[in-house]
Structure 1
Amino acid sequence: MHNRIIHGIAGSFIIISLILAMYVNINWLWLAAFVGVNLFQSSLTQWCLLQNILNKLGVKNTGSGSCGV
């Protein structure tokens, strides 16, 4: 379940960031960069903050891996 939630949130943040960059201010691209850097960091360290947050919220993890990968 974490896998689907994490990918959904990351994808939503990137799409929202791109839309805001197009219509509001180009600096919203920093949000997309932040999401990308966090995904890259979690692939190297096997630690994901969002996964920890989901665990504390009581969301069951049906898969394995960091950040749903």
Structure 2
Amino acid sequence: MNLDRAVLAFAGVMTLLSVVLTHFVSPWFLLFTAFIGLNMLQAAFTGFCPAALVFKKLGISSGCAFR
């Protein structure tokens, strides 16, 4: 698994988790969903992704999107 796939998988898991938490716990977790979406949007334009930095420090090899 490379860094790009790890970041996309993490974003997908966090999005699904926020939907489940919204349904079962509180509608306020929609703010978490919005935060995830905004972070993905800014990463698309700036190339800066905090999750990519963490995964890179964990030793996951770089992909083409996050070098």
SS in 1 for 2:64: coil
**Unaligned residue ranges in structure 1 (runs of 5+):** none
Number of aligned residues: 65
Identity among equivalent pairs (%): 28
Runs of 4+ in 1 over 2 A off after TM superposition: none
**TM-score w.r.t. length of structure 1:** 0.84
2:19 pairs with 1:27: no
Deviation at 1:60, TM superposition (A): 1.1
Instruction: Note the aligned Cα RMSD (angstroms).
Output: 1.1
**Residue 65 of structure 2 aligns with which residue?**
65
**Unaligned residue ranges in structure 2 (runs of 5+):** none
Deviation at 1:9, TM superposition (A): 0.8
Q: Which structure's relative contact order is higher, taking Cα pairs within 8 Å and 6+ residues apart?
A: 2
**TM-score w.r.t. length of structure 2:** 0.86
Rounded Cα–Cα distance in structure 2 between residues aligned with 1:8 and 1:65: 14
